Structure formats: structure tokens, C-alpha cells
Amino acid sequence: MPTLPGVLASTARRVPDRPALRWGESSLTYGELDRTVTRLAAEPADRGVQRGDRVVLVAGNTMAFVVGVYGALRAGAIAVPVNPRSAAPELRHFLADTESSMVLVDPAAGDGVRALQADDGGLGTATALALGELDGFDDVLAAALARDESTFERELSEDDDALIIDTSGTTGRPKGALFDHHRVLWVGQNITMGLGLRLDETMLHVAPLHHSASLNLLLFNGVMLGATQVLMPAFAPDDVLEALEREKVTVFFGVPTMFAYMLRSPQMAARDLSHLRHLFYGAAPMPASAAEALVAALPHVDIVQACGQTEGGPGGILLTHEEVMAHPSASGRLAMPNTEVRVVDANGEDVAVGEVGEMIMRGETMMKGYWRNPEATAATVVDGWVLTGGRNVSSVEVENALAGCPGVAELAIVGRDHPDFGESIVAVVTPAPGATVTLKDLRAYGESRIARFKLPHDLVIAEIPRNLSGKILKHRLRAQLDGPVGSADPAAPA
């Protein structure tokens, strides 16, 4: 039965000399990648990682991420990729929640893990190892590469659990969506059929690999196809456009924010993007004007919008190229292949065409459930259907992290429409008597408590409105967002 590391081995046998990964001036063929992963998998196994154990992976869009996630999977572990910008308290939560036995960290993303290691007991029972040179950590990648040719194998099944992916829930702490190998492999099958992907694609990874879109839709699927995958650690519009030309990229996924910046760059028209065949976007709405500009700038490219969520694999609905041109403000219409989608009312009944309802989904790619959270699972998976609802930065989490900031008497977090990012995070603060609170103060206080992308981008000084029972009236707060605003950090939402 196929598994994620089994598919890598199969592809390595089929096209051993084809480039698998390219980053900067370096590269690995599929044969080299498979041998490296096999050697790395032996290291966690020798250090006590058993089948079904959890291994947290803290890495950006680097070779370390790819080798680390496949190494953990081949060792029989459940990989838990987390945001490499996560602060130490967030990493502590992931480790405790998943009861992970090991952390694999990219040296470029080691600050949070280093802080936990310095905090006695911060890592719990987990062993932290570096995928490269990092002071104070054993270099597990060097140890793996020093091994003789490894024949390490661990018997796995497609029904074995493979991934726990953070959903960034809206009701407090993030919840981990659990997937087995079978579900993840079906995500790839679906997007291949939905977009018409080929065996010889070249894919550019700029969106974070720890997110389910880049990971499941592209990385794992690209390995199944035997595609060449180009890794970029950070987004910069001109750099992306240069890479699209240099690497002769055929498939590119991004969020609307990226395309908004790329469209403003003179390089958009100057670069030779004739090899690009498939471009798809998702994770947030794209303004109709931007979608129209994208179609005009790349008339030869099949441009598709995907709308779904992590709990679906991701899975959901697509807006075809023709539909993007005809209805650029829409989010999608056709269900992805092998996926059923309905729009229902509060009673679970299908709504009539033109009426508002909630999208629900079912299919082979849907999560098994939330990791060790049966209550949340029961509220989200009903009779086999995954309810969608909203998933974004949790206002409760941000409020809890910033509530202790000096000078803050009361604080609430709300969202504000943003032309590039869809929505930005706004802190509404009532200062303590005689105190002055700035946006810089809030962000500096929160940086060691939550990831930077969750910090507020704007500040409004105002009284916090409450109802008679003391509950904050957030609809009133949103109406106050024309008040005095602090200086936003334009790079923060990205």
C-alpha cells in the first residue's frame, strides 16, 4: 500500500537522476534525496522514536524542511510541521499538546527552540536536534550523512497517521488536524486532476511549506509526479519573478497578497514567463481588480482559484480559468475531483441557488479529526461532512498574549479590511490612567509570546464598549476603526 515515503522511494527508482530539489546554487536528484532521507530516518529510530511517535519540525522553505519531514515519516513518526516564526510559548504548546518525542530544527529557524532549551523543562521530554550546524544542538543531518549506505526500513501502512497540521483556530489555541498517508496522497491526486498537472512540472515554493496548501497540494504531490521543486525561503516580488524565469517554473501557487505586489513590479512585464502554465491562488479572497490584472498580465497561463481549508486536506472548490475571467470576484464553484460539496443552512438543509449558507465537504482528503480533541472533532465533522466556518488568527490568543502589556487597562483585537491582505489585525486599547501605549510597545511586548504575524498591525485608542453582562461588543469596535491609528508595519501581515 502506498505511503508518503514509499512514494518518494518509488519516484527515486523511476527517475533517479531527475532534479528533485533546487535551492540557491544547490540541488538534489531524486536518487540523492531518497538516500539522504533513508539515512536521516535511521537517526530518530536509533534515538528511540517509535512508529506513531510525534516529531515536531521547525523549518522554513529549505532543504532541511523537505529532508526533515520525509525523514520523520520514513522513521514511522507523525510529522508536526510548525511555523518557524513561532515563539517559545507557542512551541511549548505544540510539544505538550502532541506529546512529541523529538524536535527537528532548521538552524535558520532555531531561536524559539533555543529559548525553550534554555528554559529548564521547556522542551518537556522531547529531544531537540538540528538539521545542520547550530550551536548547542547535535547536527542530526551531518550524523545521517556520515552513515554508510543505509538500508533502514520501517513497515508502514497507508492507514498510519502521518501529519498533524496547525489549523490556527478562531476559538483560542490552535487545533491540530490529523491526516494519515492515504488522505494526503489523495490530496495530490485531486489537485493533479483538477489542474491537469504533468510528470515533468517545475514547481516554485514561496508560500510556507508548513501550511497544508504548499505541503500537501504541491510538495508531496510533486514528489509523486517526479516534479522539480524550487525552494525560496522568503517572498520578495522581484526575486520571485526572477526565479520564475530562471528556473523555467511551470506551476506556481501563491496567496493574493503575493500577486498584488508582483503586479506592481516592473519586472512582471520584463521577465520571460513563457514556461509558466499553471498558476493558482487561495488562502484569502483576491480583489476582482487584481484577478483581472493577473489574467491580463499572463494571458497564456491557466489561472485557477482554490477555496478550501486545512481540515479538508486542503480540499474544497475551484474557480476555473474561464470562471476567473468571467467572475473575478467569486471564490469558486466546482468541487475538486473526488470531493462532494454542499451549501447548507443552519439545519443542514441545502439552500436554494443565490441564498447564503455554509459550505460543507466530504471526500477521501478530509482530516481524521482534531488531534486528541473529540469535542472539537464532533463539532466540525458531522455525519462524515466537514463543516467549514472560519479559520484565521485567533483574537482570543492575541488578547491573552498582550493583556499584560504595561500601561494597558483593557484591550480587544478585531479585524479591519485591508486591500492587500484581506484583513489586518487591529488592537483597540484603553490605557491605564496617565499611561501612554504605542503600537511599538504592544508589538515589542508580544514578540516573545506569540508569532510576529499574529501581532497587531494598527492601534486604536478608545474605550472598550461592553453590554450589560460585561461582554465586549466587537461589532461596535469595528465601527470605531476610524479613530486614531498607530503606524502599521506593512510587512507584518505577510
Judge whether 152 and 37 are in contact, CB under 8 Å.
no
pLDDT score at 149: 76
Q: What is the mean pLDDT of residues 126-135?
A: 95
Confidence of residue 459 (pLDDT cuts 50, 70, 90): very high
Confidence of residue 471 (pLDDT cuts 50, 70, 90): low
278-281 sheet: strands from edge to edge: 26-29, 19-23, 228-231, 202-205, 251-254, 278-281, 302-309, 315-319, 334-335
Structural contact between residues 6 and 153, judged by C-beta atoms closer than 8 angstroms: no
Q: Lowest mean pLDDT: which of 279-283, 371-375, 440-444?
A: 279-283
How far from 453 is each of 333, 409, 417, 447, 490, CA to CA, in Å? 31, 24, 16, 9, 11
User: Which of 249-253, 387-391, 455-459 is the most confident on average?
Assistant: 249-253
* Fold (CATH) for 4-387: Rossmann fold (3.40.50)
Q: How is 314-372 classified by DSSP, letter by letter? A: SEEEEE-HHHHHH-TT----EEPTTEEEEEE-TTSPBPPTT---EEEEEETTS-SEETT
Cis geometry, peptide bond prior to residue 314 (ω within 30 degrees of 0): yes
- Outline which parts of the chain fall under CATH 3.30.300.30: 395-479
End-to-end CA distance of the chain: 39
* Least confidently predicted of 35-39, 47-51, 213-217, 387-391: 387-391
pLDDT band at 492 (very low <50, low <70, confident <90, very high): very low
pLDDT score for 400: 82
Residue-wise pLDDT tens digits, 260-277 = 899 999 999 999 999 999
All three cell numbers of 372: 486528541
The DSSP code sequence of 172-186 is SS--EEEEEHHHHHH
Place 171 in a pLDDT band, splitting at 50, 70 and 90: very low
Q: What is the pLDDT of residue 473?
A: 79
**Position 323, amino acid:** E
CB-neighbour burial class of residue 297 (10 A; exposed 0-12, middle 13-18, buried 19+)? middle
With a pLDDT cut of 70, the percent of the chain lying above it is 93
pLDDT of residue 390: 44
- Distance of alpha carbon 25 from alpha carbon 8, whole angstroms: 23
What pLDDT digit, counting tens, does each position of 344-386 carry? 887 888 989 888 788 999 999 999 999 999 999 998 999 999 9
Question: Comparing 154-158, 248-252, 305-309, which segment has the lowest mean pLDDT?
Answer: 305-309
Strands 458-461 and 161-166: unpaired
Task: Give the range among 77-81, 299-303, 462-466, 475-479 with minimum mean pLDDT.
Answer: 475-479
- Of 404, 372, 446, which is closest to residue 96 (Cα–Cα)? 372
Q: How many CB atoms lie within 10 A of CB 338?
A: 15
User: Where in the chain do CATH 3.40.50.12780 domains reside?
Assistant: 4-387
pLDDT of residue 34: 97
Residue range 395-479 forms a domain whose CATH class is alpha beta
Q: Residue 422's pLDDT band (boundaries 50, 70, 90)?
A: low
Q: Is-contact 92 125, C-beta < 8 A?
A: no
How far apart are alpha carbons 313 and 339 in whole angstroms? 11
Coil vs helix vs strand at 33: helix
Q: How confident is the model at residue 484 (pLDDT cuts 50, 70, 90)?
A: very low
Vertex 70, ends 65 and 71: CA angle to 5°?
95
Q: Answer for the pair 310, 212: CB distance below 8 angstroms, yes or no.
A: yes
Residue 47's SS3 state is: coil
Arithmetic mean of pLDDT over the chain: 89
pLDDT in the model for residue 346: 78
Residue 489 has pLDDT above 50, yes or no: no
